[in-house]
Amino acid sequence: MRVLLTGGAGFIGSHIALLLLQKGYDVVILDSFVNSSSKVTKAISNYLLTKSFNFNLNTITGDIRDKNLLEKIFNDSIIDNKPIQTVIHLAGLKSVSESLTNPLHYWDVNVCGAKNLIATMNEYKCYSIVFSSSATIYGLTDSVPIDENHQLSPINPYGRTKVAIENMFCDLYKSNMNSWKICSLRYFNPVGAHPSGMIGEDPIGIPSNLFPYISQVAVGRRDSLKVFGDDWDTDDGSGVRDYIHIMDLSEGHIKAIDFLNSKESCFEFINLGSGNGYSVFQIINQFELSTGMKIPFSIQKRRDGDVAKCFADIKKAKKLLGWVPKRSLEQICNDSWNWQRRNPHGYK
Ligand code: NAD
Ligand code: UD1
């Protein structure tokens, strides 16, 4: 079965690509490489070659807003006699701060890009899509755990583009309820790396998220971690989040494809998180255990747009997808560190 993986060279996409290939899927990655390295697909191939795996990976450099290119990809797949049966749509921009300074660009890439993609799918009668949504759409709430019925109130343009795409899916589904199979996965905090240490997270520039930042402190690329507030209403005063191992998240996508394949039609939105909340200080402690090093940090004022606690209710994922996250915080930190220490400068 052929899967089109948009954004497949990114942090999340690269791990999903590897898993899909290991499961025997034929994978076409479409990525513009605006936020990823061209070395990613080589790293995926190298890993599979070391395991003597036969695999079918085709990487296309291009933009999801390029309709002609999308049509060519679907058309070529038909000519190959391997029509694209499912799309996993991850391509998009994800920086909260950048979305505040350049909102139209976010609407263009995320929303117009998604519209272009689903319009092309419609033309080629490919009706099955898994979409990467985000817990950011729940907005500023401390009412945890958060389930899928929680009110949506995103507080930044990035989050609003995710809601707009979910709404677009909803309208599309209602217009043709016999055909479309849509699963919008709302990720909490995907972190960690493939246990081989051959692929992992490699943000461009200064990381804004906790895990890549703390990893770069541990490897000596940054002096010290800034802890954004120790006066939150949490047990130790630092912010609590739901960190989910990237391999658990990737497995959730395989389960989502299985789920869609078992349906005539459907539209579901499903949280993917660990279901547990860990504080920044707990992460620092575990990182120190995993690295055997002291992590220098300083307490700073709270970051705008942060909440005290955010973690998922994952009952729906368990029930509908039969998916349960298996990896511990220890494994997350061990794998993050394994990747960072083997690749101090990422893919460079
Ligand atoms: P990433 O930036 O590493 O990956 C996104 C990929 O999309 C990159 O390789 C980038 O080059 C590509 N891309 C961007 N614009 C494109 C375009 N116009 N055409 C083609 N390719 C394009 O990000 P990620 O962390 O892997 O996130 C993947 C998806 O998951 C994103 O949609 C993001 O919003 C969503 N998400 C991520 C997180 C997270 O914490 N990482 C949380 C929730 C949701
Ligand atoms: C952030 C984004 C969110 C996005 C998510 C995944 C903001 C306000 N929120 O969420 O929209 O969906 O990333 O990409 O940007 N922390 C530090 N020091 C750091 C970095 C983070 O103390 O250098 C703290 C934060 O205050 C928070 C926790 O670590 O308590 C996790 O932060 P982060 O990794 O940025 O994730 P989110 O805040 O969940």
Q: What is the CATH number of the domain that holds 104?
A: 3.40.50.720
In-domain check, residue 347: no
In-domain check, residue 348: no
Question: How far is the centre of ligand 2, averaged over its atoms, from the C-alpha of 195 (Å)?
Answer: 23
**Residue 135 Cα: closest atom of ligand 2:** 12
Does the active-site annotation cover 213?
Answer: no
Residue whose Cα lies nearest atom 15 of ligand 1: it is 92
Closest ligand to 59 CA? 1
Nearest to 343 by CA among 221, 229, 161, 190: 221
Q: Roughly how many angstroms between the first and final C-alpha of the chain, as a whole number?
A: 33
**Residue 159 Cα: closest atom of ligand 2:** 11
Residue whose Cα lies nearest atom 28 of ligand 1: it is 90
**Residue 190 Cα: closest atom of ligand 1:** 40
Question: How far is the centre of ligand 2, averaged over its atoms, from the C-alpha of 45 (Å)?
Answer: 31
Residue whose Cα lies nearest atom 34 of ligand 1: it is 94
Nearest to 141 by CA among 131, 154, 159: 154
Is the distance from the beta carbon of residue 318 to the nearest atom of ligand 2 less than 6 Å?
no
Active site residue: 158, 187, 213, 243, which one?
Answer: 158
In-domain check, residue 308: yes
Q: Give the chain as a 3 state SS string.
A: CEEEEECCCCHHHHHHHHHHHHCCCEEEEEECCCCCCCCHHHHHHHHHHHCCCCCEEEEEECCCCCHHHHHHHHHHHHHCCCCEEEEEECCCCCCHHHHHHCHHHHHHHHHHHHHHHHHHHHHCCCCEEEEEEEHHHHCCCCCCCECCCCCCCCCCHHHHHHHHHHHHHHHHHHHCCCCCEEEEEEECEEECCCCCCCCCCCCCCCCCCHHHHHHHHHCCCCCCEEEECCCCCCCCCCCEECEEEHHHHHHHHHHHHHHHHCCCCEEEEEEECCCCCEEHHHHHHHHHHHHCCCCCEEEECCCCCCCCEECECCHHHHHHHCCCCCCCHHHHHHHHHHHHHHCCCCCC
Render pLDDT for 253-307 as a digit per residue (tens, 0 to 9): 999 999 999 999 999 999 999 999 999 999 999 999 999 999 999 999 999 889 9
**DSSP-derived pairing of the beta strands 189-191 and 181-187:** unpaired
In-domain check, residue 286: yes
Is the distance from the beta carbon of residue 209 to the nearest atom of ligand 2 less than 6 Å?
yes
Compute the distance between CA of residue 83 and CA of residue 76 in angstroms, rounded to an integer.
8
Closest ligand to 301 CA? 2
In-domain check, residue 43: yes
Q: Cα dihedral angle (81, 82, 83, 88), rounded to 10 degrees?
A: -170
In-domain check, residue 319: yes
Question: How far is the centre of ligand 2, averaged over its atoms, from the C-alpha of 139 (Å)?
Answer: 13
| Percent of the chain predicted with pLDDT > 70 | 100
Compute the distance between CA of residue 166 and CA of residue 212 in angstroms, rounded to an integer.
28
Nearest to 136 by CA among 117, 102, 109, 110: 110
In-domain check, residue 144: yes
Question: What pLDDT, on the 0 to 100 scale, is given for residue 18?
Answer: 98
In-domain check, residue 76: yes
Is the distance from the beta carbon of residue 306 to the nearest atom of ligand 2 less than 6 Å?
yes
Question: How far is the centre of ligand 1, averaged over its atoms, from the C-alpha of 289 (Å)?
Answer: 30
Q: What is the pLDDT along the chain (348 residues), one digit of tens a residue?
A: 999 999 999 999 999 999 999 999 999 999 999 999 999 999 999 999 999 999 999 999 999 999 999 999 999 999 999 999 999 999 999 999 999 999 999 999 999 999 999 999 999 999 999 999 999 999 988 789 999 999 999 999 999 999 999 999 999 999 988 999 999 999 999 999 999 999 999 999 999 999 999 999 999 999 999 999 999 999 999 999 999 999 999 999 999 999 999 999 999 999 999 999 999 999 999 999 999 999 999 999 999 889 999 999 999 999 999 999 999 999 999 999 999 999 999 998
Read off the pTM. Answer: 0.98
Render pLDDT for 157-188 as a digit per residue (tens, 0 to 9): 999 999 999 999 999 999 988 999 999 999 99
Closest ligand to 136 CA? 2
Is the distance from the beta carbon of residue 42 to the nearest atom of ligand 2 less than 6 Å?
no
Q: Which domain holds residue 6?
A: 2-342
Q: Find how far residue 249's CA is from the centre of its chain.
A: 8
The domain tally of the chain equals 1
Question: How far is the centre of ligand 1, averaged over its atoms, from the C-alpha of 236 (Å)?
Answer: 32
